[in-house]
């Protein structure tokens, strides 16, 4: 006997893209959003050619309600304020500080698409220099934010703030 909820599930091709490669699998779920709410740092691939290419590859398949799941579950995030607040938007603008040990502190202003990939970026150094870049300037462009991340709403900026910096920044490959 088939559970009524199971009857509404279908397979979704899922990718965890880490830039120079990725992990692929199938998830049986009721919707794309259900997959994205359940797994962090993944995208649901909908390109028909890609889906067809992977149909006979023997990829692992999991059920969204099953006991055996791949890594990346976001159970703890679901209860956090801000979870999924920016999901579903075509574009968001973010301000993120990067100050890892050994690196010069820098602030990145980013225009990010619904898939978490950068569209445009402005790098603001502490000395006041600003450098803008886009996809043609990056060797690869994996997702850099997870739209469901509950921290993102605190990093959101306005389009006008981003555009103001974009217009005054020098192009990444331009002479200094």
3-state secondary structure of 45: strand
Within this chain, do residues 62 and 103 fall inside the same structural domain, yes or no?
A: no
pLDDT of residue 148: 93
Q: Is residue 86 part of a domain?
A: no
Question: H helices then E strands: how many in the chain?
Answer: 6, 9
Q: What is the residue range of 52's domain?
A: 4-73
- Residue found under tokens 């990346």: 72
pLDDT of residue 67: 83
The β-bridge relationship of strands 130-133 and 170-171 is: parallel
Within this chain, do residues 105 and 37 fall inside the same structural domain, yes or no?
A: no
Q: Is residue 127 part of a domain?
A: yes
Q: Is residue 85 part of a domain?
A: no
Q: Is residue 84 part of a domain?
A: no
pLDDT tens, per residue, the chain with 176 residues = 455 567 799 999 999 887 777 889 999 999 999 999 998 888 899 999 999 999 988 899 999 998 887 766 777 788 889 999 999 999 999 999 987 666 778 999 999 999 899 999 999 998 889 999 999 999 988 888 999 999 999 999 999 999 999 999 999 875 54
Within this chain, do residues 65 and 116 fall inside the same structural domain, yes or no?
A: no
Within this chain, do residues 98 and 44 fall inside the same structural domain, yes or no?
A: no
What DSSP string describes 73-84? Answer: B-HHHHTSTTTT
Q: Is residue 83 part of a domain?
A: no
DSSP 8-state code for residue 39: B
pLDDT of residue 102: 66
Within this chain, do residues 105 and 164 fall inside the same structural domain, yes or no?
A: yes
Within this chain, do residues 109 and 166 fall inside the same structural domain, yes or no?
A: yes
Domain count, the chain: 2
Q: Is residue 98 part of a domain?
A: yes
Q: Is residue 82 part of a domain?
A: no
| Element housing 123 (H / E) | strand 118-125
Polymer length in residues for the chain? 176
């Amino acid at each position: 006997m088939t559970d009524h909820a199971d009857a509404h599930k279908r397979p979704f091709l899922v990718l965890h893209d880490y830039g120079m490669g990725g992990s692929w699998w199938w998830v049986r779920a009721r919707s794309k959003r259900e997959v994205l709410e359940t797994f962090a740092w993944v995208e649901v691939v909908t390109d028909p050619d890609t889906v067809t290419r992977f149909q006979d590859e023997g990829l692992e398949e999991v059920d969204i309600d099953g006991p055996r799941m791949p890594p990346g579950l976001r159970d703890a995030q679901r209860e956090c304020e801000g979870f999924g607040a920016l999901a579903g938007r075509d574009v968001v603008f973010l301000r993120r500080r990067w100050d890892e040990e050994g690196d010069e502190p820098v602030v990145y202003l980013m225009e990010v698409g619904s898939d978490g990939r950068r569209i445009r970026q402005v790098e603001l150094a502490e000395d006041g220099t600003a450098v803008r870049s886009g996809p043609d300037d990056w060797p690869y462009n994996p997702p850099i934010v997870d739209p469901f991340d509950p921290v993102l709403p605190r990093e959101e900026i306005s389009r006008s703030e981003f555009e103001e910096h974009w217009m005054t920044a020098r192009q990444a490959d331009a002479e200094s």
